Structure 1
Amino acid sequence: MDGLFPRGKKRRYTARLQVPTQFLNIVGRKEIWQATGTADYEEAVEFRVKWKRQMLAQWNAALAGQQPLTAKSRYQIAAELAASRGQEYRTADDVSEMAIEKLLGRVELLKANKDSPDSDAAQAILGGVAIPKMTLMEVAESMPERYPEDWKTKTERGKKVWERRWLRPAEKFVALIGNDPEFTQIERKQAVAFRDALKDRVIDEDYKAESAMTELQNLNGLWKRHHVALGVDIEDVPPSPWRNLSTPLSKLAEGDGQKLEIPMQNLMKIIAPGALSAMNEEARDLIYVLIETGARQAEVTDLPPGSIHLEHEIPHIEIKKETGEFSRTIKNKASKRRIPLVGIGLEALRRHPQGFPRYRGKGTFSAAANAFLHENKLLPEDITIGGTRHSYESRMVDAHFSNEDRAAMMGHSIKRVRGREVYGNPLSLAEKLSIAEAIKLIPALT
């Protein structure tokens, strides 16, 4: 190995290290030498590797003292310097809580290397640098830099796929809660809200259960990788807020989505006078519309004003592809339909004739609704607001409406229901109104 030279009668090796250009002003010479204390070549190689790592870490720390650095860079330099001395970086609080023998071991290490109390090494070994606060998006964006071994050898396309593995779920999470949270401060209830929002998209047939499970798994992976990159032992990584949250989604992947409809007793609790009085008005009335239309969440949250027809002979909403200011797509051709408004759903839209701008195009309604309904014991923990759609169809089944009538109301393909081409006129708005009136829910009198 270059940089090792046997010296003297005992042929013990001396290690040489050439000083990189950026450190010349700090070191003051082009190369340094260090006795290894061994005549065994393999031991000498191991010594030089550790010595080189230690010196580079020290020089990096010294160089850092000459220029402004971000909290992230200061931490990384301290972590590298601690690792070069065979120590895992710990904050001062963690060090103070160590067993006395471990703490003294760190102090003795500093003494053995003749490091002063105010040295960079002392800062690194005794935890004098705070762990940087990174947001979720910053952590996701940092993956290529922190794990170059997993990224650099890939093709350009492979690099993008690997980057999106972390960025995609992070972007979805940020969009859901409306801000980019400090990563290590993400709460379990926020993670649960994200899981429930994904679940609702699966129930609405806007997303595959397998894809939703992957998003949760990748966030768990991001949590683990972030802490490992900070120098935390794998067994000491704190529990991920997204741990074990994919089980309900695995049931949906197995085709058990029908089990997640909202039971009738819970529907009646939700529509009871005053039950939702603490909710914001848009969220409350969105729930009422979903209950009495059976529509997918996005079909109602993203309704443009022009698709709300309250002055029509039969008040209704229109689900269709939109362009312009309120541009939106629909799931498929069968989803295009008119849905009559009755009962509490009609009353809700009369209060919001322009739709629901607070939630339009944002995807945040599901989390807000589920959080409120679960916290107030209006929904069982394993059921989400997405269950209104399944409940609506069950109400039609209980009222003995045909499979084809149900498909027309729900926006399902009648061709698929029949198993053949469809002929004749579609279900009229008046006929749909009679169905909606037959299954309309009436709040209990208080």
Structure 2
Amino acid sequence: MRRAKVPDPKNRDGIWYLIRRVPKNFEDLDRRRIVRISTNIAVLDDPRKVRAKVVVEQLNLQLEAYWQGMRDGQSADARLRFEAAQKRARALGTNYQTVEELRGGGDVVEALTRIELLITQRAGEKEDDVAAVLGGEGRPRFRVSDLPGEYEKVQAAKLTGYSDAQVKRWRNPKVKAATNFVEAVSDKYLDELTRADAIAFREWWQTKLVTDNLEIGTANKDIGHMNKMHRMVDMTNHLGLLPVFSRLRLEGETTGSRAAFSPAETKEIVLSPELDRLNDEARDIVLIVAELGLRPSEVCGVLPHQIRLGAPIPLVAIVPEDRQLKNPQSERELPLVGNALAAFRRHPNGFPTYRDKADTLSATVNKALRKAKLLPTKDHTLYSLRHAFEDRLIEVETPDKVVASMMGHKFQRPKYGKGPTLELKARWLSKVLLPLRHEPTPPASSD
């Protein structure tokens, strides 16, 4: 619900009151036209309304929570009844249609067939069966604020392999888009949304882009999320909604590649004593990303049994275990060489501090690199070391298929055979090795 301005305390018979009109979208739930709640504070005891304002604000929050709870409870009950009717209709051998849909279709034969089904199944005496076959439960109504949760239900199978942190990262931009729409327009029912509402959201973003100096892509992400959530929730629940969010993207969006460090800048970072200001795990993840071009999240997610230091060629296996990889090509094995081999020897059990916390790692490292003046531009981040690794491979003319295999990218040609071997990868990695960083010298004993 879009929060209204906190009402000012009103004097009613010498007592300060919270007085509010019931919002239109709750009139069907709360039959009171005007709500009046006493603060129990006498006007004479608080003539300037200092204490009364605090109490009114608390009462107002409680009132809004009450309205929200009524709506959520009603929506949840209606949804459960509707889903039960759908399942029962299927069990009786028919598809579910509401009374309105059956009446609107005008198919007398269909109506008679359903009545005959109730008779033959001897289900006419059961109220739930009658409701299921003859459409006694209306389709659930959803508001804009319901979209992220409903869309997440639709995508449940996709999210099965995601870690908790990955689900959170997947969910947050959807919630943000719906929240922004509610702020820009209102928390309308989906079946009440119009094209004008969607355009108003687009115009809200156009203004925000200018006032907040944001990239056009920021707005287009919100619009895209709203369009996809709206479309999928509509399709899944057979709501028959109009595609109000289609073709609304703003023109002028630019997509540039992420910044990469030069070879000299990468070496400076790897050898910089400033890295020792990081904790051991963060420092060694930086060295692994620089040496092997792994995504920081991939290094953070490595489990102990995926680090095989005793293999004929020491390696790390990037596999979708306890988390989802970015794409199928990301599943791969990389030989451990140089700083990466040394780092994994120091951490044979992986990096538990940052497991499933890649965002925390990136924030920590980027802050340290920025403070040490090791980031040439505002576009450079920890991730830029991965792009620098790819540039080093290209510089020594590594075959495209080998580059794609080590980066975890899709190779744009038909796949034949098993792909590049560990030996072949190790051979090309030997051509782009970084200077070996020595472990920091432990402090001298005070004895």
TM-score under structure 1 length normalisation: 0.50
TM-score under structure 2 length normalisation: 0.50
